[in-house]
Amino acid sequence: MPGAHRRPRLLPEPTIARLPIYQRIAEELVRRGLDTVSSDDLGRLAGVSAATVRRDLSSIGPFGTRGSGYDTAHLSRRTAELLGGDSTFPTVIAGIGNLAKALINSPLFGDRTAKIVALYDVDVDIVGTYVGGLQVRRLADEDGTSFVDPPAIGILTCPASAAQDVADGFCDMGIRALMTFSPRVLEVPREVTVRYVDVSIELQILTYHLEHGRGPLNGGLLHNLGVSPVRVALHP
Amino acid sequence: MPGAHRRPRLLPEPTIARLPIYQRIAEELVRRGLDTVSSDDLGRLAGVSAATVRRDLSSIGPFGTRGSGYDTAHLSRRTAELLGGDSTFPTVIAGIGNLAKALINSPLFGDRTAKIVALYDVDVDIVGTYVGGLQVRRLADEDGTSFVDPPAIGILTCPASAAQDVADGFCDMGIRALMTFSPRVLEVPREVTVRYVDVSIELQILTYHLEHGRGPLNGGLLHNLGVSPVRVALHP
DNA sequence: ACATGTGAAAGAGTTCACAGCC
DNA sequence: GGCTGTGAACTCTTTCACATGT
């Protein structure tokens, strides 16, 4: 029977990219003891339009109440769940410089969602040292026997010249998600997701706008979604 | 969206975001002594379609030659110029931790396009110290008298809790371009461009894809443009 | 023959506007 | 009255397809 089979619909990529923002805000609102939030207020806090908020939230399974707004606790729970907050993804990092240390010392990687389980480098002065409680090893020496669970996320903070080799090594280890800080397009198998965090590109986008007289569009949050946050008070 | 009054722009934002990639590749091709490149090859190297390459390049002033391809030297020059490569933008950084040090020590900031001219922090152990040849000062003490040219770019590597105050301070200094690493939506005057580099969001996008099985879409480069680079040889 | 440049079509995402419900 | 949920309109971007030029 045509149409009877309901496939779990993927969310549009821009919506996925906004979920972490909603999550962060909902968590904060719960912390402040606010039970509900309107699409209008949430939109202002997230820097997107109320219509976009309603479209996004209705697509992750409506839980708003007409007349009052969205339940902050429910919103927080649902977004956290969608973003994999209930799972733990073993994470490895290659290229242990200042940037890697900044990441390792940040609150991003606890034992919660992404847990760092291995550090790699090639520099003889760095291999063998301990950073954040883990001994730095050589990626080439990795045989996978030391992992309790196989790594799921790989982070590249290595020089651009090494990026493709490291990415190949990570993919061979079975990693399915890469975040790279190297200014380099990576070629990976189709089933691997790659996120590029490219500061040089960001900087050049800024200089483009400076060079061409301003951009009224404060885009950029969530990847150029055309967001233009305005100064907002939670309770005007 | 409220407050998002957009004026017609010279180039579409996604095209602007791809310019740095074309720039980087064109530079590399010139270095390798290749005089021309086809939209097909350039697309594979940049991880976008040939049609997109042709649309982008034709919109920045056609300089391809039918039958042979694009002149790499010309392409490199034109993109560099569009991206402000001929100007120097004084840049300041607030929040001098590992991340800031990684940026300061990176080749991104020379005397070329973005030149770092001031460092700020509030920590008494950090204020007064020298990092990369500059003495860290307090943003609150800044009266602007020490600048030869007024700063154009502000970078926030401070804790999220301080981000809005720092952004306010930067905007008061007349800065028109911000890059922030704090997980926080910034509210700034309309004429200020903001780029968000939010590792926690990137990480959560990865965990979303891991949680929901596959993502054949290796999007992310240039902000989720739906790019899916495949392994490519320059001259097959 | 080959590759660009570009109208036209398609696709993706956002915003409008209002019906529906609290 | 207020606010969500959603079909429809609209805007922006990409892709197609081929005329155009070398």
β-pairing, A130-131 with A134-137?
antiparallel
- Mean pLDDT, rounded, for A147-153: 93
**pLDDT average, residue stretch A9-25:** 93
B208 and A105 within 8 Å at the Cβ level: the answer is no
Measured between alpha carbons, how far is B81 from B212 in angstroms, rounded to an integer?
A: 42
Kindly indicate the confidence band of residue A9, based on its pLDDT and cuts at 50, 70 and 90. Answer: low
Is the shortest CB-to-strand distance from B228 to strand D under 7 Å? no
pLDDT at B230: 35
- Using the Cβ of A131 and the Cβ atoms of chain B, whether some distance falls under 8 Å is answered with no
Amino acid letter, residue A221: L
A124-137 average pLDDT score: 96
Is the pLDDT confidence value at B234 over 50?
Answer: no
Work out the angle between the directed axes of helices A50-59 and A13-31 (0-180°, nearest 10).
Answer: 100
Rounded average pLDDT over A86-101: 95
Of A61-65, A166-170, B81-85, B120-124, which range is least confident? A61-65
Up-side HSE of residue A95: CA atoms within 13 Å toward CB?
25
For B36, the token pair is 């021309």
State whether the Cα torsion A45-A48-A51-A57 is positive or negative.
Answer: negative
The arithmetic mean of pLDDT across residues A189-196, rounded, is: 91
Rounded Cα–Cα distance for residues B24 and B98 (Å): 27
Is pLDDT above 60 for B1?
Answer: no
More confident residue, B61 or B2: B61
Indicate if CB(B55) is under 7 A from strand D: yes
pLDDT at residue B232 greater than cutoff 60: no
State the pLDDT at residue A64: 92
CA distance B13 to A229: 17
Q: Which residues pair with A155 in a beta bridge?
A: A93, A179
The percent of residues in chain B predicted with pLDDT above 90, rounded, is: 75
Residues forming a β-bridge with B116: B91
pLDDT value, residue B190: 85
Q: Least CB-CB distance to A199: which of B4, B97, B197?
A: B197
- In the prediction, which pLDDT does A70 show? 98
Of A10, A217, A232, the CB nearest to B187: A232
* pLDDT > 70: percent of chain A: 86
pLDDT over 50 at B214, yes or no: yes
Mean pLDDT confidence for A198-220: 78
Q: What is the predicted pLDDT for the residue at A143?
A: 87
Residue range B22-34, pLDDT digits in tens: 999 999 999 999 9
pLDDT at B84 > cutoff 50:
yes
Rounded to an integer, what distance in angstroms lies between the CA atom of residue B223 and that of residue A14? 9
Beta bridge partners of B155: B93, B179
Give bridge partners of residue A194 from the DSSP assignment: A178
Q: Which nucleotides of C are covered by protein (CB under 7 A)?
A: 1-7, 12-17, 20-22
Q: Which pLDDT does position A144 carry in this prediction?
A: 82
> Confidence class of residue B132 from pLDDT cuts 50, 70 and 90?
very high
Q: Write the CB contacts of B164 (distance below 8 Å, at least 6 apart in sequence).
A: B184, B186, B187
Position A195 pLDDT exceeds 90: yes
B-chain residues near A228 (CB < 8 A): 1, 3-4, 190
Residue A13 has pLDDT above 90, yes or no: yes
Burial of A106 (0-12, 13-18, 19+ CB in 10 A): middle
Mean pLDDT, to the nearest integer, of A191-210?
94
Q: How many C-beta atoms lie closer than 10 Å to residue B9's C-beta? A: 14
Percent of chain B residues past pLDDT 70, beyond the cut? 86
Mean pLDDT throughout B205-215? 85
Q: What is the mean pLDDT of residues A125-141?
A: 96
Average pLDDT score over residue span B173-200: 93
pLDDT for res B110: 79
CB of A65 within 8 Å of any CB in chain B? Answer: no
Domains of chain B by range and CATH?
13-82 (1.10.10.10), 89-200 (3.40.50.720)
pLDDT of residue A191: 87
Chain B hits for A16, Cβ within 8 Å:
205, 208
Task: Identify the DSSP state of B8.
Answer: P
